[in-house]
A and B are shown apart, each in its own frame.
Chain A
């Protein structure tokens, strides 16, 4: 079945760039997503990319999609302590219903 994989932890220093990587299996995914979850909170949609795009930039966030390798990455420029959270990659499946398959999440720790 479909699967989304991410590394579990990433630690960076404040001001550095963070790169969170994700691989997925469903080549028919229409959209790929990045969500952020802070402790005790729900998931917040950060950004998403349509499968026919290679890159999307939104302020400090850059999403890169390599469809051939089924690899998605999220780069956070000038990482701040407020960026510390768990980041989930997700792929859309199931046609128009919007069903998502989530990765297990990458816990980003930002050290001052």
Chain B
């Protein structure tokens, strides 16, 4: 039981490149979330999903897209990366709204 895993752990992109971050959970949880963490900013919600096939916007959704084709996976896409998207990205999952389990994070640098 690995909990919540994220792939990759680190990535460096050039401005304008695209990439997809993968979040996987083996806990059969309905709810999944993508956050970004910036220095001195806490975590901000990008997008979330309340079940397979559903997604919704969070606090800072611009420049990102998500998909939840399978219950266990939640993908975060950057179509055209910008330096402002340099951040640490965390995925979380929970069965009920009051206990979110976080992945280890993906550190993304956009040059």
Contacts and interface: CB of A to CB of B under 8 A. Distances in A.
Interface of A: 4, 8, 30-31, 35, 40-45, 48, 88, 92, 96-100, 102-105
Kindly state the interface size class of chain B when it binds its partner: 20 to 34
Closest 10 CB pairs of A and B: A98-B97, A42-B102, A102-B42, A43-B102, A102-B43, A104-B42, A42-B104, A31-B98, A42-B105, A98-B31
B43 A88 contact: yes
A64 B50 CA distance: 30
A104 B41 contact: yes
B100 A98 contact: yes
11 contacts: A41-B104, A41-B105, A42-B102, A42-B104, A43-B90, A48-B98, A98-B94, A99-B58, A100-B43, A104-B40, A105-B42
Contacts of B102: 35, 42-45
A107 to B, nearest CB: 10
B98 A97 contact: no
